[in-house]
Chain A
Amino acid sequence: MSVLVFVEGLHGEIKKSSLEAAFYGSQVAQSLGTTATAVAIGDVTEDALTKLGAQGISKVLFDADERLKQFVAEAYVKVIAKAVAQEGAKVLVFAHSNIGAAVGSRLAVRLNGSLATNVTSLPKTDGGSFVVTRSVFSGKAFADVNLYAEVKIIAVQKNSFELTSQEGNTASVERFSAEVSDADFGAAPKETVLLDTGGSVPLQEAEIVVSGGRGLKGPENWHLVEDLAKALGAATACSKPVSDMDWRPHHEHVGQTGITVSPNLYIAIGISGAIQHLAGVNSSKVIVVINKDAEAPFFKAADYGIVGDAFEVVPKLIEAAKALDK
């Protein structure tokens, strides 16, 4: 029962969420007494792929077709399905990203398999069952799900697993081709626009997120959020009212109907903590709340809190963060 991990690349490197999936896959393989192979597609270099060895991957199948640098679900599914057949894989592991969930869903149909997304635990395989824990109800609960089809597909929630670093271990990279054709690119993007994140990582990938709410009083004060994020190497985010008022773009809105994040550190500035906002952030490992209202409900969900005026508190934090030796 071999394990196959799908890894995504961006700008030549492997996405951190895919490294986490690789580590997860190698752990599953170990528990099943088998090995984990990775299949890589798209914008990633062979040099970067050899580093998957540090996450326990011994072999990588790499389809370097230039057209695959852009994501098209149908084409990616074709490549991964061929790798599944070649390796005889019965467990597939992906990152729970827009791409990972899309190809995982299509593969579940094609392979008649069971799929669980947003997975936060390694599988429990007692008595022939294969049970994983996944986040449900927008992070307000967890569910144990038994995947009972022969092929099991798991999309791992970002930042749910620490990476290992087995330094010196490298993966061998084998060229591999699923011979995709132009017909597989029917829904190919006409244009790709990467957002200017000021050099920081995308919000969904970020380990630290600094988020602002109405307490910042207006978009002209957003430099406080941005400067703190820059000093901490964090991504920026906002609450729903802020994006509804067009202070910030919608792709920064974090919450139940926005982006769900699970960083190591979430810093909320001037956000009261409505239940819908909490639902999008409560799987963060550490939550910091800064609000001048001591009764703000967010304090109940926080690990650290400061009652104070953001305009006085945040500049002190920026100064202290800048003084950290990185």
Chain B
Amino acid sequence: MKILVCISNVPDTTSKINFTGDNKEFDKNGVQFVINPWDEYALTRAIELKEAKGGSVTVLNVGEADAEPNIRKALAIGADDAIRVNAHPKDAFFVAAQIAAVAKDGGYDMILMGRESIDYNGFQVHNMVGEMLGIPSVTPAFKLDMVDDSTARLEKEIEGGKEVVEVKLPFVASAQQPMCEPRIPNMRGIMTARTKPLKVVEPAGGEAKSEYVSFSKPEKKGGVRMIDADNAAELISLLRNEAKVL
């Protein structure tokens, strides 16, 4: 089985978010970047499937050279090789076009990625790739198993429940917990990752369809109003009469 796993390079979940240049750009200063946590589920499940069924796992990142430490980390976790499309990821449409271009002639049985990135939260790329390649997209999935060599069985979240889907290969799926327990690279993995192939390719066209004009942060709250624990019931009255949310 040949699996393509797409990973994003995103600010660590504990990062304080700031912007520079008249609020036009994200301030990377002092921010540590990690593999997008949702993508870690896709990566680990792909490696588990490879270990069970054979095959290979290729990691794909659409990004600039500063993403390479995290691409190497994905290799250390157990991916076999990696491709970096050398481009600033302008918007979801552009990123999906790069992934589709790589996948088109790659003969991948499945393309996996996280449900969304924790920075731009688009929740778009997997479905766009499915449409661009004319194959099904199953999202967001929290369980992925093979029924036989040509069919996968996924469980995906729907509002208020879940659905069980059986889909023929090839397909695109996005991952979320509890699909698996994400792995941490061990020393042997870190050593072998240094020699695994990381191919850099130039973008294959693909226009962005949107542009970020500016960023802002939510207004600061006016401060908390404390209520005495002995008089807790007053809270319900305040929520109804003052905050008007009951």
Chain A residues in contact with chain B, CB under 8 A? 10, 15, 70-71, 73-74, 77, 96-99, 101-102, 104-106, 108-110, 112-118, 131, 135-149, 186-195, 197, 201-202, 204-205, 208, 232, 250-251, 253, 256-258, 260, 264-265, 275-276, 279, 282-283, 285-286, 288-289, 299-309, 312-313, 316-317, 319-321, 324
Contact = CB atoms under 8 A, between A and B. Distances in A.
Interface in B62-92: 92
A108 B213 contact: no
Interface in B44-63: none
A188 B165 CA distance: 6
Contacts of A149: 209-210
Chain B binding surface, main DSSP class: mixed
Contacts of B225: 303-305
A98 B124 contact: no
Contact of A307 (B122, B131, B229): B229
Interface stretch (B103-111, B134-142, B195-203): B134-142
Contact of B245 (A113, A188, A193, A286): A286
Given A98-B159, A138-B121, A193-B161, A303 B221 contact: yes
Given A146-B213, A320-B233, A302 B224 contact: yes
Contact of A286 (B130, B215, B228, B243): B243
Q: For the complex of A and B, list the 3 residue pairs with the smallest distance between their C-beta atoms, beginning with the closest.
A: A308-B229, A202-B160, A105-B127
B148 interface: no
Interface size class on chain B is 35 or more
Contacts of B233: 316-317, 319-320
Interface in B188-246: 209-218, 221-222, 224-229, 232-233, 235-240, 243, 245-246
A211 B27 CA distance: 33
A275 B240 contact: no
Contacts of A102: 127, 137, 139
A303 B224 contact: yes
Contacts of B224: 289, 299-300, 302-305
A133 B65 CA distance: 30
Given A10-B159, A98-B140, A145-B210, 4 more contacts: A115-B93, A139-B218, A141-B218, A251-B162
Residue among B38, B166, B233 with the highest chain A CB neighbour number at 10 A:
B233
A142 to B, nearest CB: 5
A117 B130 CA distance: 18
Nearest to B240: A324
Contacts of B243: 265, 286, 303-304
Contacts, number: 258
A317 B124 contact: no
B149 interface: no
A257 B38 contact: yes
A308 B238 CA distance: 18
B121 A135 contact: yes
A156 to B, nearest CB: 13
Contact of A108 (B93, B123, B157, B238): B93
Nearest to A260: B121
Contact of B213 (A117, A144, A308): A144
B218 A190 contact: no
A306 B164 contact: no
A103 to B, nearest CB: 8
Given A146-B211, A187-B167, A257-B13, A320 B237 contact: yes
A253 B160 contact: no
B236 A275 contact: no
A71 B13 CA distance: 32
A260 B116 CA distance: 12
A277 to B, nearest CB: 10
B92 to A, nearest CB: 7
A187 B131 CA distance: 13
Contacts of B119: 136-137
B229 A306 contact: yes
A202 B161 CA distance: 8
Nearest to A321: B236
14 contacts: A10-B159, A101-B123, A117-B122, A137-B119, A145-B211, A146-B211, A186-B167, A189-B164, A189-B165, A190-B165, A195-B162, A202-B161, A257-B38, A305-B227
Contacts of A10: 159-160
A265 B226 contact: no
